Amino acid sequence: MSYFDKSAIGMLVTRAINDVETIASIFSQGLFMIIADFLKMGLVVVVMLLVNWKLSLIVFSILPLILYATRLFQKSMKIAFEEVRLQVANLNSFVQERISGMQIVQLIAEKNRKSKL
């Protein structure tokens, strides 16, 4: 419970909404796209092997290098995504705190106005 006392409401809401949207997009589009891509890649590999298996093996020899580069790119994208997520959470937290602060200022102004009457 102390985590919720220390964290701003805007940050918690932003993280929850972003996580739910990410999960929804994975299940609605991502899963089918991944399956379709694997099927396409499998078909391309079979056709390449049927056309010229020696040339295909030469092409497949650079596959570990491509996988390594993809892994590096994935790590850097994860860092960038987390930074964007943090900045959006900070922005929403800032806006939420200012909006709730305006309500308090308005209540104090209303109280002062009524006390003068």
Cα 56 vs. chain centroid, distance in angstroms?
Answer: 36
CB–CB of 7/86 below 8 Å?
no
The token pair that represents 92 in the structure block = 């929403």
Which pLDDT score is estimated for 52? 95
The token pair that represents 87 in the structure block = 């900045």
Which pLDDT score is estimated for 14? 73
Which pLDDT score is estimated for 117? 67
Domain span at residue 16?
Answer: 2-116
Segments in the chain below pLDDT 50: none
The verdict on pTM exceeding 0.85 is no
Which pLDDT score is estimated for 7? 67
Domain total for the chain?
1
The predicted-structure confidence for 48-62, as pLDDT tens digits, reads as follows 999 999 999 999 999
Which pLDDT score is estimated for 43? 97
